[in-house]
């Protein structure tokens, strides 16, 4: 009994046998991005009325209407947003200009920035955000164009989509 008692005493002094393996080192990886927040689109659905155009004015190749101005405005750009890029897209016809989706024939729509650069499907335009007002503007102009001439009567309608990205 003395041996049995001594074995229990020795086991009690040494404590229980370890149930865990030795500690392992691990690494926690954290990923993220800090990005500029969006500006407020102040001109969400601009409408450009071309007024009445006449077939005799659009009979020859390259004939066009007058330019009509449209400005896309952004406001409340977060501090730290320095520039905004607009990407223009829409249905193009075989001439590369935007397709007239109305009923008038041989008519295209041309979009330009205020410096005269044509902004066809897939084009980009970048402007600087005003650091004081936290606003940005895209002054643009649009017109009806008859690349090949021979415009026929009907309606003129087109949709040009604008996608903004901020930096």
Token pair belonging to 58: 């659009």
What are the residue ranges spanned by the domains of the chain? 40-166
User: Lowest-pLDDT range, 44-48, 56-60, 63-67?
Assistant: 44-48
Token pair belonging to 102: 């109305």
Q: What is the pTM of this model?
A: 0.77
* Fold of domain 40-166: Immunoglobulin-like (2.60.40)
Query: Tokens 């223009």, residue?
Result: 88
pLDDT band at 24 (very low <50, low <70, confident <90, very high): confident
Rounded CA-CA distance 63/148 in Å is: 8
- Tell me: the pLDDT tens digits for 77-110? 999 899 999 999 999 999 999 999 999 999 999 9
The distance from CA 4 to its chain's CA centroid, rounded to whole angstroms, is: 82
pLDDT score of 2: 47
CB 166 within 8 A of CB 126: no
């Amino acid at each position: 009994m003395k041996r049995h008692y001594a074995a229990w005493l020795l086991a009690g002094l040494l404590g229980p046998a370890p149930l865990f393996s030795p500690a392992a080192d691990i690494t926690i990886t954290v990923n993220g991005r800090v990005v500029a927040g969006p500006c407020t689109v102040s001109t969400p659905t601009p409408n450009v009325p071309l007024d009445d155009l006449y077939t005799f004015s659009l009979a020859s190749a390259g004939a066009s209407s007058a330019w009509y101005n449209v400005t896309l405005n952004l406001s409340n750009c977060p501090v730290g947003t320095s520039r905004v890029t607009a990407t223009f897209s829409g249905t193009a016809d075989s001439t590369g200009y935007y397709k007239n989706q109305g009923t008038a024939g041989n008519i295209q729509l041309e979009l330009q920035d205020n410096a005269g650069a044509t902004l066809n499907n897939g084009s980009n335009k970048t402007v600087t955000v005003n650091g004081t007002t936290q606003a940005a503007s895209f002054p643009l102009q649009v017109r009806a164009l008859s690349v090949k001439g021979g415009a026929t009567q009907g309606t003129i309608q087109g949709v040009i989509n604008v996608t903004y990205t901020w930096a």
